[in-house]
Structures are given as C-alpha cells and as structure tokens.
Structure 1
C-alpha cells in the first residue's frame, strides 16, 4: 500500500476526539497528556484488580511497560488497524478507562470492541456509552459492517454492557482467550451489525 493509498483509505482508523459530554474519548499515545501523568495513569490501571483480572496489562505495572503500552497505541493508530481511546473526565482530565475498536478482518468489515474502567468510573454506564460511541463512529467513518464483543463467561458485568449497548448474544466460544489471570476462559460472543437498530441509551 502506498502513502497515497493510506491517506485515502476510508477503512483506516484516524485519530480523533469523541466528546460525550461528561467524558471525552482521546487517542492513547505518547502525546496524550493526562492529569497526574499519562505513564502513572497507565500503571495505576494495570494495578487495578478488576482491570488486571480481565485484561492483559500486567507488563504495564512498571514505567517501561506503561511506555510500551503508549508506543503500541501510537503504532496502531499509525497503521490504522486499531482505534485506542482513553476515556477521560471532561471536567478535570483524569483517566476513567479505555475503549478500543480494532479490525479483525478489515477486508470483510469486521471489527472488535473492548473496554475497561477504573474503580471510580464504574457504575455510571460509561462502558455501555463508550462501546456504543466507538461502534457508531466505526460504522460511520470507517465502514465497519459487523462489530464483535467478547467477554469471559464469568464476567457478568460485561455481559450486561453488551446487551445494553445493542450487541445480541450469539454463542459461547470454548477456551478461546487467555485473560489477565492466566488460564484460558470460555467466552460469550456478542455482535452488532451496522444495519441493527441503534440502542436507546439513558
């Protein structure tokens, strides 16, 4: 692919800020400036028990690992394969969590959405709202046709997020993913099509 092809390829995710009012979704990367320090915020997230349980962030508990996390986000934005957003408080700029949309089969228009929230941000519906926001954005700006959402069977809160965000349950994948706690988990597969009705969120 040439540089001119890259510049005009609509299916490549382009860095942007999504404003949801009380929170903003801002691109992860070295240029991101979070209140209290971006590297420190990544390290705190990696040390959060619930984040670590369901997300492989164990190497980000140290500065070098957190910096590598930011470098990977920059690389994925640069090649257009993955849209990595920090969920930040609109009032004070602190980190609330993460939401990501990445191509799993770009030629077929299939992407995957994932998310995590810090303890102080849970219970506000942010996972549902941000998953919905990046899904709408991916359909609108990059032509995503099918967006999939996977979560460990034991992760009941994520199952509720999927249902509220308009991702119907499609089946169970056996021993399909190794999460942050070590063993392989069965996962629920949910998916939302570009042609599905958009959820009506509170």
Structure 2
C-alpha cells in the first residue's frame, strides 16, 4: 500500500477530516493565536505562514504523512487538525498528532478525529502500529488517547522541548491494528 499524493476525505463520528484550503486561513490564524494551541502545538502567526502551512499539509506526495483539517460536517467550520506522520510503510508504523481549536474543545472532537485517522491508517495504508505522545502537563490528551483506543505504554522522560522552552516528560500511547 502507499500514501496517496493528494488528501483523501475521511468521515468520523461527528467530524469530517478534509484537506486544508486557503479559505481556512483566517480561522486557522484564530486557532493558532490561542495560548493553549501556542504552548502545545504552535503554528504560524501570519498570513504567509499559514498559507505555507496549508500547502504543506495538503501535499501528501512525499508519502511521509496524511494531514487533515478537522471540520464540522454540517457547516465545514475548522475545529482543528490531525495527522498521521513519520509514516514508515516498511515497518508499518507512524505517529499521530492533533490539536483542537478552543471552540472545538471538550466535545470529543479530538478523540473522534484520532479514531477516524487511525482507521484510515490501518485500513487504507496497511499500518500495524500507531503511537502518540503529549506533554504530561496536558492531561486532556491522555483522555483523547484513551478514548481513541491507544494504550499507555510508558513515559518518555524530558522527551520534547515545547514552546515554553522546557523539556517535558511525555506519556507514550500506542494502538495496534489488532487492538
């Protein structure tokens, strides 16, 4: 199996995973301006930067990632983003990353998007294992992982330097195609 060169639309429970579009730029800038988003998943802060971000995520041709915007199915409003990245088809594994805009938080958006992206990775890309990490100080992401079927495997100590400049411990969660 291989990663398609252009984004594929995926429907999940209460979410639509779709390609980012230039018309999403203002809503993305609003989301990236949120302090919570900036700390855990910083993004571009200007128009040119967000357009480059959109173009990068809409181009799957390298075969190393599948990236979607998370949108509301009924009005297409941007709720966040989810990616399956660092795809290694030979090993059958990849990493999952996501963020949710402030107006989408607390509604199960992230766990639904991660479940949908995981199903795509297992069913369409033939992957065997997915893993995700998050800062230990971000307990909501532990809930997302658990609700999306990812089991806690351990903690990576001082694993990643976040936007606050400090290295944070990160819980390691993983899900197998057979789970």
Q: Equivalent residue for 1:40?
A: 26
Q: Equivalent residue for 2:45?
A: 61
2:9 is equivalent to residue 23 of structure 1: no
Q: Equivalent residue for 2:83?
A: 100
- TM value normalised by structure 2: 0.92
Over the aligned positions, Cα root-mean-square deviation in angstroms equals: 1.6
Q: Equivalent residue for 2:54?
A: 70
Question: Comparing both structures, which one devotes a greater share of its residues to helix?
Answer: 1
For 1:188 and 1:102, the matched residues in 2 are separated by 18
Q: Equivalent residue for 1:117?
A: 100
Q: Equivalent residue for 1:169?
A: 152
Task: Give secondary structure in 1 for the equivalent of 2:61.
Answer: helix
Between 154-163 and 15-24, the greater mean CA deviation after superposition: 15-24
Structure 2, unmatched stretches of 5+, are none
Q: How many angstroms does 1:104 deviate by?
A: 4.5
Choose 1 or 2 for highest CA Rg. 1
Per-residue CA distance 1:109-161 (angstroms, 9 max, x = gap): 11111111111111111111110111011000001110001011111000111
User: Contact 1:13 / 1:82 at 8 angstroms: preserved in 2?
Assistant: no
For 1:20 and 1:132, the matched residues in 2 are separated by 7
User: Contact 2:15 / 2:112 at 8 angstroms: preserved in 1?
Assistant: no
Q: Equivalent residue for 2:172?
A: 189
Task: Give secondary structure in 2 for the equivalent of 1:142.
Answer: coil
2:34 is equivalent to residue 51 of structure 1: no
